[in-house]
């Protein structure tokens, strides 16, 4: 095992990384959210790493790690495995430093992410159907060729680079009381906690994991990294089954709490970022906002929520937005029985129009053994204005004599 990988990480390491990243990584914007502030009852600010180069914070750690390689290591090139953000961070960092890079990605990786990784200068090799298979292929390539494997989170240089986000948070929002950040393997939250706790030990650092990929709570309870049997979440950027050894030790020591959020919380948070903040954020990047929505009065303000990334496949975005609108009570699906006569369907649509419900999709069935001779069944999908409007629509239909069966 690389002994350098086990060395401790200090504020000086993060400050050194910050100097190294000058002119490389952007100092991303800090935006105030009036909507979230009203929910939390205190000022809420969004640290927009979704607007970072390559669309996430990953360029920070990747650049510091590759820049720290010895000349002979640089000559051998670097290799990484990733489905998206780390791939792009490594590709750009290596390109900026004149180092050859090879990135292994799953065969099902979204085409925009594959294309972006190639555009940033990496040779992309598609291998495996899940990231674990891709990771094994990258490690085997490193052993075979001598290329340096760049881990996404389990190395001090990576963590020091990610920790520079914490320095910027304290500079941009010196009055901050709570920092909320998404957690996968733990590199970002660990690095930020090193910087924040060294300079402002009074600031509370809260990590957020998707409930379907929450390896940190059981690991912290056990006092050691525990691997989950399976992981499943739309937030692929934090879908990690086992904490990294290096970040785990720092999270255990410095992070005040790690909470979990549901898939509904994540999709609602993504929708909120898009509608209210006009920011495109991927599910993992929106996990900090999801935590605020799930328990808005549990955090002392001012609060800084880190939007860690914005790389989301358009097709996935479409599905997530529909899910988010449903979770927010803005979709309503109904099945109704009508009398099978001319004008019945037009009458239903007229009633829905009077209720100010927007029809997204409708199916009209007249030939089903379950139906009576004079009956028809209609399934209709509606867009509403929220839970209260959903109730209004249901009441209007009942008052008009329609029988809702599901």
Q: How far apart are CA 320 and CA 262, in angstroms?
A: 13
DSSP secondary structure string for all residues of 343-389: THHHHHHHHHHHTTPEEEEEEEE---TTS-TTEEEEEEEEE-SSHHH
Q: Rounded to 5 degrees, what are φ and ψ at 288?
A: -65, -40
Count CB-CB contacts under 10 A for residue 315. Answer: 11
**Beta strand segments in 225-330, E:** 257-261, 303-307
Residues with a catalytic annotation lie at 58, 308
Beta carbons within 8 Å of 207's beta carbon, 6+ residues apart: 181, 182, 183, 186, 189, 216, 251, 255, 257, 258, 259
- Rg of the chain over Cα atoms, rounded to whole angstroms, equals 25
Give yes or no for a contact between 160 and 16, defined as CB atoms under 8 angstroms apart.
Answer: yes
The bridge status of strand 30-32 relative to strand 101-105 is: unpaired
The bridge status of strand 257-261 relative to strand 204-210 is: parallel
Q: How far apart are CA 182 and CA 202, in angstroms?
A: 20
The bridge status of strand 148-149 relative to strand 178-182 is: unpaired
Q: Rounded to 5 degrees, what are φ and ψ at 109?
A: -60, 140
Mapped onto helix, strand or coil, the DSSP state of residue 397 is helix
Closest alpha carbon to 383 in 344, 339, 333, 343: 333
Q: How far apart are CA 216 and CA 186, in angstroms?
A: 9
Give yes or no for a contact between 340 and 364, defined as CB atoms under 8 angstroms apart.
Answer: no
Give yes or no for a contact between 128 and 221, defined as CB atoms under 8 angstroms apart.
Answer: no
Report how far apart the first and last C-alpha atoms of the chain are (Å, whole number). Answer: 59
Q: Look-up: residue for tokens 């292994």?
A: 104
Q: How far apart are CA 117 and CA 113, in angstroms?
A: 6
Q: How far apart are CA 300 and CA 31, in angstroms?
A: 18
Token digits for 72? 């002979």
Q: Which helix (H) or strand (E) holds 79?
A: strand 78-81
């Amino acid at each position: 095992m690389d002994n350098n990988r086990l060395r401790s990480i200090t504020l000086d390491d993060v400050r050194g990384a910050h100097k190294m990243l000058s002119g490389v990584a952007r100092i991303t914007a800090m935006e105030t959210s009036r909507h979230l502030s009203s929910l939390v009852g205190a000022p809420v600010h969004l640290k927009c790493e979704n607007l970072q180069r390559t669309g996430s914070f990953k360029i920070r750690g990747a650049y510091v790690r590759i820049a720290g390689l010895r000349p002979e290591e640089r000559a051998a090139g670097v290799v990484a495995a990733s489905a998206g953000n780390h791939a792009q961070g490594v590709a750009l960092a290596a390109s900026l430093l004149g180092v050859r890079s090879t990135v292994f990605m799953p065969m099902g990786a979204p085409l925009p992410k594959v294309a972006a990784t190639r555009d940033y200068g990496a040779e992309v090799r598609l291998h495996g159907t899940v990231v674990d298979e891709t990771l094994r292929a990258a490690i085997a390539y490193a052993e075979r060729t001598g290329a340096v494997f760049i881990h996404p989170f389990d190395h001090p240089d990576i963590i020091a680079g990610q920790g520079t986000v914490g320095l910027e948070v304290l500079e941009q929002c010196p009055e901050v009381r709570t920092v909320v950040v998404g957690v996968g393997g733990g590199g970002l939250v660990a690095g930020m906690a090193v910087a924040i706790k060294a300079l402002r030990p009074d600031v509370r650092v809260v990590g957020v994991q998707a409930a379907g990929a929450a390896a940190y709570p059981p690991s912290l309870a056990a006092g050691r990294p525990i691997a989950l049997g399976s992981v499943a979440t739309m937030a692929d950027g934090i879908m990690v089954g086992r904490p990294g050894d290096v970040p785990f030790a720092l999270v255990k020591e410095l992070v005040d709490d790690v909470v979990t959020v549901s898939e509904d919380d994540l999709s609602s948070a993504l929708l909120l970022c898009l509608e209210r903040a006009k920011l495109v954020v991927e599910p993992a990047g929106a996990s900090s906002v999801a935590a605020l929505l799930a328990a808005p009065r549990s955090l002392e303000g001012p609060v800084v929520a880190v939007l860690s990334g914005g790389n989301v496949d358009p097709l996935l975005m479409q599905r997530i937005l529909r899910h988010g609108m449903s979770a927010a009570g803005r979709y309503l699906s109904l099945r109704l029985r009508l009398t099978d006569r001319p004008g019945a369907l037009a009458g239903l649509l007229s009633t829905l129009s009077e209720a100010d419900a927007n029809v997204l999709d409708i199916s009209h069935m007249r030939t089903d053994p379950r139906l009576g001779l004079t009956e028809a069944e209609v399934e209709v999908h509606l867009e509403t204005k929220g839970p209260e409007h959903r109730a209004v629509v249901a009441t209007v239909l009942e008052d008009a004599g329609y029988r809702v069966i599901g």
